[in-house]
Structure 1
């Protein structure tokens, strides 16, 4: 998941955590990454920020 993804007018990572926490997990958080591999095996990293502002975002949820 990249930081540019959106759902319902808000960032996708925020929307997915909100939807999950409505269902009952004890907690959730999102981390903005500095390096990741995209769906088409394209590398996204902070060094190529001028080329891509779609850095990876990781979600974590626990009960």
Structure 2
């Protein structure tokens, strides 16, 4: 599904859509940031994991060569 988000947080849109469509699993990519980078930028994937009633599978994106 492709959905344009112009207001609010992406994590909230993902959680809402999963609930509306009765999803069994949410699969999301993550950049794998740690430490200050994650704290400074926030993490939509982390917000989805913490806020979703649906199981979430996070897939770490590999670094480009």
The normalised TM-score by structure 1 is 0.39
Is the helix fraction higher in 1 or 2?
Answer: 2
| TM-score between the two structures when normalised by the length of structure 2 | 0.38
Specify which structure has the higher proportion of strand. 1
